[in-house]
Amino acid sequence: MNFNALFSDFGGYTITGLTVGAIYALVALGYTLVYGVLRLINFAHSEVFIAGAFAAIWGWAALGLDRDSVASGFGSIMLYLLVGALIAAVASAGTATVVERVAYRPLRKRNAPPLAFLITAIGASIAIAEAFGIYTRRLPVGAPTIVKPDLVLFEVAGTEVTMVQVLVIVSALAMMVALDLFINRSRIGRGIRAVAQDQNTAALMGINKDRIILVVFIIGGVMAGVAGMLYDIRIGTLTYSVGFLLGLKAFTAAVLGGIGNLRGALVGGLLLGLVENYASALFGANWKDLVAFVVLVVLLMFRPTGLLGESLGRARA
Amino acid sequence: MRQKLARLVGGVAIAALALGGTAACKSDSGTDEASGGDGCGSKIAFFGALTGPNAALGINMNGGVKLAVDKYNKENADCQVTLVPLDSQGNPEQAPGLAQQAIDDTKILGIVGPAFSGESEAANPLFSEAELVHITPSATRPSLADQGWKTFFRAVGSDFSQGPAAGRYIKDVLKAEKVFVIDDQSAYGAGLADEVKKVLGAAVVSSDKVQGDGKQNDFSATVTKVKSSGATAIFYGGYYQEAGLIRKQLTAAGVTATLVAGDGVNDAAYIEGAGAAAAEGTILTCPCQPATEARGSFVDDFKALNGSEPGTYSDTAFDAANILLAGIKAGNTTRTKMLEFVKGYSGEGVAASYKFTETGELDPAQVKVWAYKVEGGKVVPDQEVPRS
């Protein structure tokens, strides 16, 4: 074990781990929301994420930014970020809507067994990923530099914190807080909680079940779209096949925090990002998945419902 | 009513499939007996990644093979050869099944590939048993030649030529004293990195292993290690997708050390991944001469047929296919005869001259290792790496 590598640069590993974790957390929200309401693992959610990530790059391209462009000036950077986030959110929400309408709703109407949903989910996931693969000729697509990656914002205890890291972590946290408030305070949020508790009773109380489910997919899509844009900014290059693994990690984060629990997704995402990064430092990057998943198994042994327990944001309170 | 209709249509479709299947089998076995004498209707296969994270390399090679077959068929219009593309996705787990599929098709007389070292290790034992000759244009792991596979031929130099040459380039041309070595734990990447480490010795300050095959996108932990090692050169053993991401993330973190990598990264897709600014100055080695310097009209013909510039190993794949086609032309229409033909082959191609040793290696006198450099968003030839 290489303790020297870890502790000589502990701050660096922490901040990059949190950045990765923030993206996991945003994607994890989509899994957790849909699971909380439908008891369904939406495996196509990784492609909802990919759709947003590609849409942001293509949106910037439409504004005249190619892979080698560097945006400058505070005003235009903010504009590009907002436009990118908007396009990504719309594309992801759209993809999520189509998946729900095509792959899930018809099955729900016929009371299909849970396994059928699982297969249509995997089918939708593969079909969308392959479509992007064929369209991009399976080549990596470079994103423009919107935020200069070497721009250091401030320094804490000898660790440089860059603008990109702050942007990713802060926007992820802001989205989470907004979502938490929305679910707990708004009228639609109450509807979502009601459907999560008992679909049929909620329907009897006059809640339009199908509309609520659609809203859940759209919210998950918006979160995944923003995550996709943040991924573009942070990683800088997108390949059609990256969704699968990132989706798996995000799903893991959701389970780690307690699936169906919004705050759990945040905790799980950040924790997974940190554990992965520390493991890379201690044992070498080839060990990170092994360590991360051993941690997951051990944690679930002691807390089978995840760190914060399983419930859609205090729905049962 | 709708359900009934659906069942009916489905049933008809299944019945048609089953009938079609048996019909196809029949016609296959029927022509087998007749095919003893001439090579008409023979097939050669390309075995490599046409989809998946490293598909760009395989698509380059398949383009070369396609051109060779296309030319052959134009010259021998009355007796055509079919190309069967076998898409392995570069995945060793899929390779044995695909190899068996090729072996079961008795019209396939020879194979160009497998393209990567990992899939070669999985597929080659099956080919050897079936006496189905295969010439790889690109699998460079040295140990492939030592397995006793009697059907293995390699149309390029192995990493025993490429690895040390990359090491010599770092030591003698870049004159780097601190080198960080990264590999992707693949048969190819780790093998190449080991050869580089041997040449560089104590100059290697540290090393790390990452995950290939598109399994890792974030290399921040490795980047942090490189940064604190103070290395002035980095060697990466692996393929272009990860290399592009690593270079982009290194540059983003302010690391200016020169990245040196092998033929698995030698593709325009690397620059797309890293971005032209970050990729600038990257050194890529390859036991191959520049594809654009191939002899004759190869470059123009390739562009005309495939609509893109030839890439790494397009020319070698073209040559490998031509060796097999020359065998068919000479009337070697059984797998055993074809194997003997390739063993004894000696001739000129567009990329090099070909003659194989006992173990299937390209004659060492023919192996050239070139260094390429990324300049202005393009891979351009830098120099032939001097022999030690």
Q: Shortest CA distance to A225 belongs to which of A129, A87, A101, A125?
A: A87
- From chain B, pick out residues whose CB is under 8 angstroms from the CB of A150: 252-254
pLDDT in tens, A91-105: 999 999 999 999 999
Close Cβ partners of A285 (under 8 Å, ≥ 6 residues apart) = B208, B209, B210, B211, B216, B219, B221, B222
Confidence label for A160 from pLDDT (cuts 50, 70 and 90): confident
Tell me the residue ranges of DSSP E strands in chain B.
Answer: 43-48, 82-87, 108-112, 133-136, 152-154, 179-183, 204-209, 233-237, 258-261, 283-286, 346-348, 353-355, 370-375, 378-384
Partner residue opposite A235 with nearest CB, options B208, B222, B245: B245
Distance CA A295, CA A268 (A): 12
Mutation target for B interface from A67, A147, A167, A275: give the one with most B CBs within 10 A: A67
Number of residues assigned to chain B: 388
Q: Shortest CA distance to A265 belongs to which of A213, A310, A216, A219?
A: A310
Query: What per-residue string of b and e applies to A75-93 under the rule 16 or more CB within 10 Å gives b?
Result: eebeebbebbbbbbbbbbb
Q: Shortest CA distance to A90 belongs to which of A146, A51, A144?
A: A51
Confidence label for A228 from pLDDT (cuts 50, 70 and 90): very high
The answer to whether the CB atoms of B272 and A150 lie below 8 A apart is no
CA distance B266 to chain A (A): 14
Name the residue with higher pLDDT: B27 or A22. Answer: A22
CA distance A289 to chain B (A): 10
Report the residue of chain A nearest B246, measured CA to CA.
A235
Question: Residue B362 gets which letter from DSSP?
Answer: B
Copy the structure tokens of residue B9: 């249509």
Helices (H), B76-219: 95-104, 117-130, 159-168, 187-200
State residue A312's pLDDT score. 56
The answer to whether the CB atoms of A145 and B276 lie below 8 A apart is no
Residue B252: how many CB atoms within 10 A of its CB?
22
Distance CA A268, CA A280 (A): 18
User: B309 at the A interface (CB within 8 A)?
Assistant: no
Q: What is the overall mean pLDDT for chain A?
A: 89
Beta bridge partners of B353: B348
Cα→Cα distances B346→A243, B351, B354, B368, Å: 47, 14, 6, 17
Distance CA B271, CA A12 (A): 27
Name the residue with higher pLDDT: A158 or B178. Answer: B178
Secondary element (H or E) of residue B273: helix B268-274
Whether the CA torsion A3, A9, A12, A14 is positive or negative: it is: positive
Residue A285 CA to chain centroid, in angstroms?
22
Distance CA B222, CA B353 (A): 41
User: B324 at the A interface (CB within 8 A)?
Assistant: no
Mean pLDDT confidence for A113-118:
90
- pLDDT tens string, chain B, 388 residues long: the values are 455 555 555 555 554 444 444 444 434 433 343 344 456 789 999 999 998 878 888 999 999 999 999 999 999 988 899 999 999 998 899 999 999 999 999 999 999 989 999 999 999 999 999 999 999 999 988 889 999 999 999 999 888 888 999 999 999 999 999 999 999 998 889 989 999 999 999 999 999 999 888 788 889 889 989 998 999 999 999 999 999 999 999 998 889 999 999 988 988 889 988 988 899 999 999 888 877 777 888 999 999 999 988 888 899 999 999 999 999 999 998 999 999 999 999 998 998 889 999 999 998 888 888 899 999 888 888 888 887 6
State residue A192's pLDDT score. 92
Domains and CATH numbers, chain B: 43-158+291-356 (3.40.50.2300), 160-286+370-384 (3.40.50.2300)
State residue B31's pLDDT score. 39
Reduced 3-state DSSP string for chain A:
CCHHHHHHCHHHHHHHHHHHHHHHHHHHHHHHHHHHHHCCCCCCHHHHHHHHHHHHHHHHHHCCCCCCCECCCHHHHHHHHHHHHHHHHHHHHHHHHHHHHHHHHHHHHCCCCHHHHHHHHHHHHHHHHHHHHHHCCCCCEECCECCCCCCEEEEECCEEEEHHHHHHHHHHHHHHHHHHHHHHHCHHHHHHHHHHHCHHHHHHCCCCHHHHHHHHHHHHHHHHHHHHHHHHHHHCEECCCHHHHHHHHHHHHHHHHCCCCHHHHHHHHHHHHHHHHHHHHHHCHHHHHHHHHHHHHHHHHHCCCCCCCCCCCCCCC
CA distance A259 to chain B (A): 24
Residue ranges of chain A whose CB lies within 8 Å of a chain B CB: 5, 8-9, 12-13, 16-17, 19-20, 67-68, 133, 138-142, 145, 149-150, 164, 234-237, 239, 241-242, 245-246, 276-277, 280-281, 284-286, 288-289
Distance CA A147, CA A229 (A): 12
Residue A25, CA atoms < 13 Å, CB-side half-sphere: 32
Domain ranges (residues) in chain A? 26-242
Complex-level ipTM: 0.72
Cα→Cα distances B117→A58, B275, B286, B362, Å: 35, 28, 15, 16
Residue A165, CA atoms < 13 Å, CB-side half-sphere: 23
User: B308 at the A interface (CB within 8 A)?
Assistant: no
CA distance B340 to chain A (A): 38
